[in-house]
Amino acid sequence: MRNDFTLYFRKVPSGKRVYYYYAYDDDGERLGPWTTGQFTKTAARNYCNAQIRKGVLVPGIKGMTTFAVYAAEFWNWEKSEYLKDRRKRRKLTQGYADKCQKVADFTLIPYFGTMRLDRITGEVIDKWLDHMIAEKKENSTINGYFGTLMTMMKWAAKKRYILRDPFLDVQRLMNDRKEKQLITLEEFKTMFVDDWKTVWNNDVVLYTANKLAALTGMRVSEILGLKGVDVFDDHIFVALQYDHKCGDRDTKTKTKDNIPLTAELVKDLRKLIKINGGGYLFSLTGGDKPVTVRHIYNGLIRALKNMGLSKEAIKERGLNVHAWRHFCNTEMLKDGIPVKKVQAVTRHKSEPMTDRYTHFNPLEFTEVTNFQAELLKKKPKKPDNVANERLPLTLVKMPDNKKTERIVKAS
């Protein structure tokens, strides 16, 4: 008959024996080891028997049997052991935790919820990936879910709730991210240089918010967080982003930055200051509260439709408020602005990220064709009167060999 646990000891640096134990699952698979913290076998056995009576011989969250129980508070901003540990090492936003909670609630728990943690193996995760593909989810979307699940299971392995990290046996899907088709320069000019009132239905809030996004690459949450006090004569001060659930919070990069602006754009922002004072600039309530991200997004879609773009074309090209970030990044690099300065404006932390937001069209590389034409230029013809002339000879005095030898020896 198999016991519920097996004891053994280890010698610690002080020379004392500390007893540890293995437990077993329903299939007889060994789990552990875990320390009893006891120095005698009898005390260790009593400790394990007490753990059995409490139903927690296998360490973990009390009563944890399934993924759903484990996930219940994993992303809870106040209660999560994982988030508390992460916040000691780096800055996190509550928005990040809320986003992961949605993934857990609507994608992970419906599939893994009734499974015990130790039953979620690499093979099970692979089958889940196949299920997501069958559901017509894009690889890039599935990989996002994959990352959330991986974080949860790696923490379970670290805390020894499970014996082994199942993600050692499975990898992300191939990246199928579609190449973005940017808003063109001509479309930009139609929206902001020509008759903007017709395109934007004379809505100064939507017009200015999108214009600011296009010219600075700001994230929409940062635009919503701007207040009248952040506008100066030649720049804006970006210190916060606004989330309608959490209110003001740190920017995504956790930095505070000055972003240069043209006089025309500053003038546009000052018009909003006259309406909303020192409060939120992009507000319909006198600066008390900014408009929603959805309001800005819907406004952009209407403007694009006013320009003649169909709903299908907008979707196919992936045109949304965040597309302005790609547009700004690309146009600054095309204009010859150094990468480091582009990064300072867009606040990308690495060149690979800047590269991801760059979408050059080789057909616009006029300097390339100029270079090609230069190589193909024919040599200039010599004038007829000098065609057969020989170049004049130049006498060169050779060094005295003996003198040279003396110099070499002296050196």
Given 135, 169, 203, which residue is the final one in a domain?
169
Average pLDDT value for residue range 165-182: 84
pTM score, whole prediction? 0.59
- Domain harbouring 113, CATH code: 1.10.150
**What is the rounded distance in angstroms from the CA atom of residue 10 to the CA atom of residue 20?**
7
Please report whether residue 368 resides in a domain: no
Given 139, 169, 199, which residue is the final one in a domain?
169
Determine contact, residues 243/224, Cβ cutoff 8 Å: no
Q: Domains in the chain: how many in total?
A: 3
Please report whether residue 380 resides in a domain: no
Please report whether residue 246 resides in a domain: yes
Asked if 245 and 333 sit in the same domain, the reply is yes
Q: Which of 64-78, 107-121, 367-381 has the lowest average pLDDT? A: 367-381
Determine contact, residues 152/162, Cβ cutoff 8 Å: no
Please report whether residue 273 resides in a domain: yes
| Per-residue model confidence (pLDDT) at position 288 | 95
Amino acid at 104: A
Please report whether residue 310 resides in a domain: yes
* Angstrom distances, CA of residue 275 to CA of 205, 241, 285, 372, 401: 10, 21, 10, 54, 90
Asked if 329 and 277 sit in the same domain, the reply is yes
| Per-residue model confidence (pLDDT) at position 404 | 46
| Per-residue model confidence (pLDDT) at position 256 | 87
The token duo for 149 is 């699940």
The token duo for 182 is 């940017």
Top-confidence range, 23-37, 151-165, 171-185, 359-373: 151-165
Asked if 204 and 265 sit in the same domain, the reply is yes
Please report whether residue 307 resides in a domain: yes
pLDDT of residue 113 exceeding 80, the answer is yes
Average pLDDT value for residue range 385-404: 54
**What is the rounded distance in angstroms from the CA atom of residue 277 to the CA atom of residue 230?**
11
If DSSP states are collapsed to H, E and C, what string results for the chain? CCCCEEEEEEECCCCCEEEEEEEECCCCCEEEEEEEEECCHHHHHHHHHHHHHHCCCCCCCCCCCCHHHHHCCCCCCCCCHHHHHHHCCCCCCHHHHHHHHHHHHHHHHHHHCCCCHHHCCHHHHHHHHHHHHHCCCCHHHHHHHHHHHHHHHHHHHHCCCCCCCHHHHCCCCCCCCCCCCCCCHHHHHHHHCCCHHHHCCCCHHHHHHHHHHHHHCCCHHHHHCCEHHHECCCEEEECEEEECCCEEEECCCCCCEEEECCHHHHHHHHHHHHHHCCCECCECCCCCCECCHHHHHHHHHHHHHHCCCCHHHHHHHCCCCCHHHHHHHHHHHHCCCCHHHHHHHHCCCCHHHHHHCCCCCHHHCHHHHHHHHHHHCCCCCCCHHHCCCCCCCCCCCCCCHHHHHHHHHHC
Determine contact, residues 211/204, Cβ cutoff 8 Å: no
- Domain harbouring 222, CATH code: 1.10.443.10
Asked if 161 and 198 sit in the same domain, the reply is no
Asked if 190 and 146 sit in the same domain, the reply is no
Average pLDDT value for residue range 76-80: 92
Asked if 141 and 245 sit in the same domain, the reply is no
Per DSSP bridges, beta strands 235-238 and 5-11 are unpaired
| Per-residue model confidence (pLDDT) at position 164 | 87
Provide the CA 285 distance to its chain's centre, in angstroms: 32
Note the pLDDT tens digit of each residue in 259-276.
Answer: 888 889 999 999 999 999
Average pLDDT value for residue range 329-338: 82
Asked if 278 and 335 sit in the same domain, the reply is yes
Top-confidence range, 38-42, 254-258, 331-335, 367-371: 38-42
Q: How confident is the model at residue 383 (pLDDT cuts 50, 70, 90)?
A: low
Asked if 309 and 267 sit in the same domain, the reply is yes
Asked if 47 and 80 sit in the same domain, the reply is no
Neighbours of 91 (CB within 10 A): 10
Amino acid at 348: H
Q: How confident is the model at residue 362 (pLDDT cuts 50, 70, 90)?
A: very low
Please report whether residue 121 resides in a domain: yes
Asked if 135 and 283 sit in the same domain, the reply is no
Tell me the residue range of the domain where 118 lies: 67-169
Note the pLDDT tens digit of each residue in 193-209.
Answer: 888 899 999 999 999 99
Asked if 37 and 71 sit in the same domain, the reply is no
Asked if 21 and 128 sit in the same domain, the reply is no
Angle between helices 94-103 and 139-158 (to 10 degrees): 100
| Per-residue model confidence (pLDDT) at position 296 | 95
Please report whether residue 392 resides in a domain: no
